[in-house]
Amino acid sequence: MAQADIGTQTAAVSTDYYVRLEQGRERHPSQQVLDALAGVLLLEAEAAEYLRGLAADATSPRGPGSAGAVECAAVISEPSLFDR
């Protein structure tokens, strides 16, 4: 799915914000944004929980280069890799 489509389909984020999330440059997505993205990306419950956990890890003091931020960006950009 194209970045612009995801941003508009969720009605929760702009394309620019979505790109920042995907690149790991935005570290503080709200629960509503994560829920909307999980829905649009058709993540299964386990993958959606994993995304939420990674987003929580990304807000830790370790910084934007932390494993949580990088993995969160990976889930957003390639969700099929994390579905079982």
Q: Which amino acid appears at position 23 of this protein? A: Q
Q: Which amino acid appears at position 59 of this protein? A: T
> What pLDDT is recorded for position 42?
86
> What pLDDT is recorded for position 38?
87
- Quote the tokens at residue 24: 């790991």
Mean pLDDT per 10-residue segment, the chain (84 residues): 64 79 83 87 89 76 53 63 54
Q: What whole-number distance in Å separates Cα of residue 2 and Cα of residue 73? A: 15
Tell me which DSSP letter residue 42 carries. T
> What pLDDT is recorded for position 67?
54
